[in-house]
Structure 1
Amino acid sequence: MICLNIDSVTVRRGSRDLLSDVSLNLSAGEVVAVLGPNGAGKSTLFRAITNEYPSASGRVLLGEKPVSDWAPLECALQMAILPQSSSLSFSFTVNEVVQMGRTPHASSREHNQDICRRALLEVDALHLANRSYTHLSGGEKQRVHLARVLAQIWEPPLVGNRVLLLDEPTSALDPRHQHQTLAVARAFASQGVGVIVILHDLNLAAQYADRIVILKNGKKCADGCPAEVLTRETIQSVFDIRAMIMAHPVHGYPLVVAE
């Protein structure tokens, strides 16, 4: 089932196309990794999905309706986004920050608290619940905001499917928490959530994604399973890196090793 349909979207700023005729379908239960060099249009794609950047042409459908046609509350029950950075300078506790994700829900305080506790446990941050958010490290803050967006779409909505958009969620994390974050994304996908994650690490994308989409200069230049997309030729063309591609000795997904 297609839960998100990005259909020939172009995003223009002045005379420059930040995205040019990009199409992408996301199915329920699928993890799609979006890769590309800096300035390729990855974050612009997320802003187009959420209608922060209106499309000059094309459309984005959440379910069967354009994203712009959904009421904000209805959209928030279906789609959550973790941006690259989240600015928050007030001395909220971690638990209070995560509870912000429950704002769209008309559920009891006890129920919301239980979901926030479970979301913090998922991201290995339950021990931070009573800490001041402003006193956390960058990686801890990133995990707290991940818990917030998980809490937002923890339960299936009455209408539509759930979509989780993660913009470089591993950028400030140590290796253990990088893998844990993407394992959480995979676990949510197993519950029928469609996940799009922007990554820079090709090997993390190969390990956790069902499909990889590569953007370059605002255009989609590859879309397929990791073994189809992560080829020596594509990596050289897109990232200007000479690399060897080999199969993981146990799991078989491609490993990219720079020469």
Structure 2
Amino acid sequence: MYEANQIAFRTQGKTILDGISLQVMPGAFTAIVGPNGAGKSTLLKVMAHEHRSSQGTVSINGQDIGSYTPRELAHVRAVLPQSTTVQFTFTVEQVVALGRHGRRALPTEDRAVCEAVMTVTGTLAFRDRQYQTLSGGEKQRVQLARVLAQMWDETVYPRYILLDEPTSSLDIAQQQYIFHLARTVCRRNIGVMAIVHDLNQAVQYADTLYFLRDGQVVANGPAGEVFTKSNIEETFRCRVNLYRDPVTGHPYIIPASDPAERFIAVGK
């Protein structure tokens, strides 16, 4: 289990995270949702050990994250940030292969893993193209393949992938493909935590949902149970109508149609 316990983060006199506790279970997809400025990306960076929290602890598989060496940490968690810059003229395959750095595997094993993750992310067909020539969505999928290459090996211990808005540059079909892939990856004893902006996609694919606002958890639990009109309106301060798909039973929302009634005043 990947666990944050009573995490607080403060910078320049401002509290960004205020006593957040969160659990990412192996084999499950956990989605984090909330308005802009809620602290979602900061929470991910604290969990990834990129930021040091002002208080609280983060542990992976029962071990404090600070006790891992960089190499050990790279073997149990991988991170896909919102944006990644590649300055060199690497091919797609070379970028994906960066995820194998430090694995100490045979070259044939590394190549097999890279081919496997490029296949599942739909990037194998342009493996020899220069990364800089790709579209934004293609680059996003290549970076996801790189992260998967880092965690793809079968192990006796659970591994985890942290995704910060993984579908931000993708069209709706590609968004569904990536979320479906995230759920599929969980079958490899991998826990996935993703920051998601599309609430309807989040409830459709996630096992667990966390609603964040102002650096605190508003609600959390099984996605189908906590995806309620009251939780959504409290978190986003935006009035919504909630429906259920008559075929799948998945809940979904549509913002209130009357602009005058759309936003909820603070404290109401």
Asked if these proteins are the same fold (TM beyond 0.5), I'd say yes
> Is this contact kept in 1: 2:29–2:186, CA < 8 A?
yes
Question: Cα deviation per residue 1:148-175 (whole Å; 9 max; x = unaligned)?
Answer: 00000001335x3100111100000011
> Is this contact kept in 2: 1:226–1:253, CA < 8 A?
no
> Is this contact kept in 2: 1:78–1:157, CA < 8 A?
no
Counterpart code for 2:231: T
Aligned to 1:230: 227
- Distance in 1 between residues matched to 2:10 and 2:237, nearest whole Å: 26
Unpaired stretches in structure 1, ≥5 consecutive residues: none
Counterpart code for 2:70: P
Aligned to 2:79: 81
1:171 aligns with 2:174: no
1:201 aligns with 2:198: yes
SS of residue paired to 2:185: helix
TM-score (norm 1): 0.96
TM-score (norm 2): 0.93
Unpaired stretches in structure 2, ≥5 consecutive residues: 257-268
Aligned to 1:19: 17
SS of residue paired to 1:251: coil
- Distance in 2 between residues matched to 1:167 and 1:109, nearest whole Å: 30
Counterpart code for 1:135: T
Alignment of 1:18-167 (within 5 A): 18-157=16-155, 160-167=157-164
Question: Cα deviation per residue 1:9-52 (whole Å; 9 max; x = unaligned)?
Answer: 11111211111100011111111100011111111011101221
- Distance in 1 between residues matched to 2:222 and 2:245, nearest whole Å: 15
- Distance in 1 between residues matched to 2:227 and 2:32, nearest whole Å: 12
- Distance in 1 between residues matched to 2:107 and 2:150, nearest whole Å: 14
- Distance in 2 between residues matched to 1:24 and 1:203, nearest whole Å: 21
- Distance in 1 between residues matched to 2:150 and 2:143, nearest whole Å: 11
> Which segment drifts farther, 223-232 or 194-203?
223-232
- Distance in 2 between residues matched to 1:43 and 1:231, nearest whole Å: 23
Q: CA deviation at 1:229?
A: 2.0
> Is this contact kept in 2: 1:35–1:199, CA < 8 A?
yes
CA RMSD across the alignment? 1.1
SS of residue paired to 1:111: helix
> Is this contact kept in 2: 1:163–1:195, CA < 8 A?
yes
1:8 aligns with 2:10: no
Question: Cα deviation per residue 1:115-162 (whole Å; 9 max; x = unaligned)?
Answer: 11110111111111000001111110000000000000001335x310
- Distance in 2 between residues matched to 1:240 and 1:8, nearest whole Å: 25
Q: How many residues align?
A: 256
Counterpart code for 2:170: L
Alignment of 1:184-199 (within 5 A): 184-199=181-196
- Distance in 1 between residues matched to 2:76 and 2:151, nearest whole Å: 6
